[in-house]
Chain A
Amino acid sequence: MPEAYLTQSPRTAWRVYDGEAAVLCPDDSTLNSLNAVGTLIWESADGKTAVSAIVARICEEFDVDPERAERDTMAFIAKLRERGLLTVSETLQAT
């Protein structure tokens, strides 16, 4: 599987409280409340961190097996992508 990189939509606004992010969806003004794992993924969506590296961090920090971490991460990414909160690219994004 090719490597993927996540980038937050520049149209979002967000804050992190006690390790959990509140992310405003730009299109419908809804607030997305992320848990600690979701926040780790969100904060790693910098265009430079590979999804595989994010999954590895989740396994390490939350004691999850790699298979489940990858499956849940991909489902979460799909959800955020559908809401217009982030984009997925197969190439490293320039800063």
Chain B
Amino acid sequence: MAELSIGIAGLRTAVITRDPDVATVVRDRYEGFLSTGPADWRIEISPPSGGVPFSKDVVVRRDGGPARFSVRRHDFAGTVDVSERTADLTLTSPDDVSINSFLRILYSLALVETRGLVVHAASLVRDGAAYLFCGPSGSGKTTVARLSTDATLLSDELSIVRIAEGYGEDRAAPLIGIYFLHHGGRHAVEALGPKEALARLLPNVLFFAREADVTAAVFRIAADLVEAVPCFDLSFRPDPGFWEVIRNA
């Protein structure tokens, strides 16, 4: 039995598996996130059970209790118990994409109680402050990350944002701006009001459950976020000059 601990966005997750191939996949995929210390969450991954008729699309639905969700896709099936902070997962094969996809779903559910969101966004830290560049595929997240050679890249695809009260010693970089990206002929920044920012942010929040109460909770976190952090429309062309425009905004 292997037990690995992964720490992402302040949540430490113990991954337990009997399958040495799964353990290797987890170790390799999350090499930069392996951690030690008591786990907040515990996931048990069962050996692959090929041939199980899992769902074609991602289906996340409440199952067996208010805090318990069943999670299915063509390559995995599992459950997430938010109150117990436990999950189990069965894979069709020891594949890192399957494990990563399940973890994204788990995080999207787990973060609700800690006022966090998984967002389609590149996140960068520059001069001690965090910036979120938000948008769907093709909007320029990877380009912005590539052009920001003097910034620390946290992610160029999915970012976790958590609303924290006060300032702790171990706080992550404070988020000072959310930029909704699109390509343009010039660099331009335009401030957005919270209503428009909320409308722009919500489609970029990764969330799979369809239950009204959890969807409403995600809405409230997103609303709190756009009320707390300045939001902007950012039109940019592929050169680092957009940082100048951001600084002057």
**A95 at interface (Cβ–Cβ under 8 A)?**
no
Q: Is the CB of A26 within 8 A of B212?
A: yes
A15 to B198, CA, bound (A): 10
State the main secondary structure of chain A at its contact with B: strand
Question: Which stretch in A17-25, A58-66, A67-75 binds the other chain?
Answer: A17-25
Residues of A in contact, count (CB < 8 Å): 14
Q: Is the CB of B193 within 8 A of A17?
A: yes
A22 to B198, CA, bound (A): 8
Interface string of A8-20 (1 = CB under 8 A from B): 0001110101101
Do A20 and B195 contact each other (CB < 8 Å), given the known contacts A13-B219, A13-B220, A15-B223? yes
Q: Is the CB of A33 within 8 A of B215?
A: no
Q: Is the CB of B216 within 8 A of A18?
A: no
**B202 at interface (Cβ–Cβ under 8 A)?**
yes
Question: In chain A, residues 22-68, which have Cβ atoms closer than 8 Å to a Cβ of chain B?
Answer: 22, 24, 26-27, 29, 31, 33
Closest B residue by C-beta to A17 = B195
CB neighbours of B220 from chain A (8 A): 13
- Choose among A11, A27, A31 the residue that contacts B216 (Cβ–Cβ < 8 A): A11
**B194 at interface (Cβ–Cβ under 8 A)?**
yes
**B210 at interface (Cβ–Cβ under 8 A)?**
yes
**B199 at interface (Cβ–Cβ under 8 A)?**
yes
Interface string of B207-243 (1 = CB under 8 A from A): 0001011011101100100000000000000000000
Q: Is the CB of A31 within 8 A of B198?
A: yes
Q: How far is the CB of B92 from chain A (nearest CB, A)?
A: 29
CB neighbours of B217 from chain A (8 A): 13
- Choose among A13, A17, A18, A20 the residue that contacts B215 (Cβ–Cβ < 8 A): A13
Q: Is the CB of B195 within 8 A of A13?
A: no
A20 to B215, CA, bound (A): 21
Q: How far is the CB of A15 from chain B (nearest CB, A)?
A: 5
CB neighbours of B195 from chain A (8 A): 15, 17-18, 20, 22, 33
Q: Is the CB of B212 within 8 A of A11?
A: yes
Q: Is the CB of B199 within 8 A of A33?
A: yes
CB neighbours of A12 from chain B (8 A): 212, 216
Q: Is the CB of A17 within 8 A of B194?
A: yes
Q: How far is the CB of A18 from chain B (nearest CB, A)?
A: 7
CB neighbours of B193 from chain A (8 A): 17-18
Give 7 closest A-B pairs by Cβ, nearest first. A13-B216, A26-B212, A11-B212, A17-B195, A13-B219, A24-B219, A15-B223
- Interface residues in chain A, defined as those with a beta carbon under 8 Å from any beta carbon in chain B: 11-13, 15, 17-18, 20, 22, 24, 26-27, 29, 31, 33
User: Can you name 22 A-B pairs with beta carbons within 8 Å?
Assistant: A11-B213, A12-B216, A13-B215, A13-B216, A13-B217, A13-B219, A13-B220, A15-B195, A17-B193, A17-B194, A17-B195, A17-B198, A22-B195, A22-B198, A22-B223, A24-B202, A24-B215, A24-B216, A24-B219, A26-B212, A29-B215, A31-B202
